[in-house]
A and B are shown apart, each in its own frame.
Chain A
Amino acid sequence: MKSCKHLLIVVSLLAVSATFAQTSNMSAAQPRSDRHEARPKSVHEPQKSEGERVFDENCSRCHNAPEGFSPRISGTIVRHMRVRANLSEKDEQALLRFLNP
């Protein structure tokens, strides 16, 4: 039981430290549109890029856009989304360009 509790404490500490690490790691890369924000403004904005369209139509179908993330994981996110959302190869490339302009 003791070792079980210790493991739980370690996992909890990891989670808390991860929370603070995220704040310091957060930087430039972030989707340029939010599902809810973009739509009302879309008629006044320039034509959406292909990558933005892919993000809006595929990723946002299930979840809201993250507020931001490190550019070092943008390729990993795109590959993860390719598998999860069954993106085509073309859409994967467009999404990568969108996340790394």
Chain B
Amino acid sequence: MKEPYIERMLRSFVSAMSFLFVMGFASVFYAQNTPLISGGMGFETSTNGGNTSYTPVIMPLLAAPLGDHLLVESRAILLDTVFPKTGKGYDSQHFIALSYLQGDYIATPHVTVVGGYFLIPFGTYNDRLSPIWISNFQDAPLISSLGTMTSGSATGGMLRGNAWSTSKVSIDYAAYFSAGSTNEQFQSSRASGGRVNAYFPHARLEIGTSYGHLLEHKQENFYGAHVWWEPAQVPLRVRSEYAHGEHSQGLWIEGDYRLSQFGGAESLIGRLEPVFRWQQTFRNSPDATDGLPSVDTKRADFGLDYHLPHEVRINTSYARQFSSTGNRNIWETAIVYRFLFPAWRGK
């Protein structure tokens, strides 16, 4: 990555943060509406096929409410990967980017208008599970690039909100349009799409479907579906997702079980959380740009997370990946700290 690019990205991020800080002063008079800084920082290691890389990463998020209806929010990612060079020694690569910078206007009880640079609502991983302080595994699912239009973000507008909510079901939606942008800070493709979710509180079951249409180059359609289930009486989460593109498709299913029934969530054993994920991708026709493996692939991830006090979590995982190009082992560890505090000190 070129250094001037990194400098420009850093300057853009610092400028965006400064802008949000200044804008946030407008909300200081509302007792509970002080702008917040949140996010996660961590140190990750990954050993893939015998090569180990090390990645310190920071993912800061800033949210500033303005008045009664507006929220301005932004998230960035800053990381530096140190990896073995061919031959001898190590090399490193920086990556700094804005994940999103958007304004949210709560127009009616059922409609929020979003404008700016925002995460594409396709499936569940991109806009709900990708922060390092949320995801159970260090690696994104193999199908995470399907439907998210390469960059994962859109430049344009989105309508979203809760369409219908009763004690039995809650239905929400998101629909967006994105313009194509080759700007270094705001890369996006010309695309449109959306997602509809139905949540059944009694069963604690969520079912959703997504659609995306790439409006440039290949004019490609993407379809997705997901099912999440959290049974009420046990600390178990089961998440699954399927995505289909013109050239490939795939699925993942993930379960995590916090051992809090052994002495409570704060006990030595109760802080442990075994996690498991099964993934499968299918290649229908060659496409080097869709981000999925070039051949049919299966992968099983076994993880063990440990929730330390003060918002620190240790993630460890082992994965075995099977494909016709060769099977491989992937070992990963990470320590992640989540922070959440007001943007400035108050009384």
- A interface residues, Cβ below 8 angstroms from B: 1, 3-4, 7-8, 11-12, 15, 18-19, 21-22, 25-26, 34-37, 39-40, 53, 57, 60-64, 66-67, 69-77, 79-80, 82-84, 86-91, 96, 100
Please give 18 more A-B residue pairs, beta carbons under 8 A apart, in addition to A18-B37, A39-B260, A73-B34.
A15-B60, A22-B340, A25-B342, A36-B270, A37-B260, A63-B133, A63-B134, A66-B338, A71-B32, A73-B32, A76-B34, A76-B63, A76-B65, A79-B65, A80-B71, A83-B104, A84-B128, A86-B197
Query: Which partner residue on chain A sits nearest B165 by CB separation?
Result: A88
For this complex, 24 residue pairs linking A to B, each with C-beta atoms less than 8 Å apart, are: A1-B3, A7-B11, A7-B14, A15-B41, A18-B341, A21-B345, A39-B232, A39-B260, A57-B204, A67-B309, A67-B310, A72-B31, A73-B33, A74-B32, A76-B34, A76-B35, A79-B63, A80-B71, A84-B128, A86-B172, A86-B173, A86-B174, A86-B197, A96-B32
Q: Closest residue of chain A to B258, judged by CB?
A: A36
Contact, CB under 8 Å: A22 / B71: no
- Alpha-carbon separation in the docked complex, A82 to B160 (Å): 10
Decide if B81 is an interface residue (CB 8 Å cutoff): no
A18 and B36 alpha carbons, distance in the complex (Å)? 11
B71 touches A83 (CB 8 A): yes
Known: A11-B10, A75-B32. A61 touches B173 (CB 8 A): no
Q: Of B106-114, B217-225, B244-252, which stretch is located at the interface?
A: B106-114
Residues of chain B lying within 8 A (CB to CB) of residue A53: 201
Dominant SS among interface residues on chain A: helix
Closest A residue to B108 by beta carbon equals: A89
Q: Which residue of A lies closest to B31 (CB)?
A: A72
Chain B interface (Cβ within 8 Å of chain A)? 3, 6-7, 10-11, 14, 27, 30-37, 41, 58, 60, 63-65, 71, 73, 78, 104, 106, 109-110, 112, 114, 127-129, 133-134, 160-162, 165, 170, 172-174, 197, 199, 201, 204, 206, 228, 230, 232-235, 258, 260-261, 264-266, 270, 307, 309-311, 337-342, 345-346
A-B pairs, 9 with minimum CB distance: A75-B32, A86-B172, A36-B260, A89-B109, A88-B165, A75-B33, A22-B341, A88-B162, A72-B34
CB proximity of B232 to chain A, nearest CB, Å: 7
The smallest beta-carbon distance between A25 and chain B, in angstroms, is 5
Are A86 and B340 in touch, CB under 8 angstroms?
no
- B10 and A8: CB pair below 8 A? yes
B63 touches A80 (CB 8 A): yes
Decide if A75 touches B10 in the complex (CB within 8 Å): no
Residues of chain B within 8 A of A35, CB atoms compared? 235, 258
Contacts of B41 in A (CB 8 A): 15
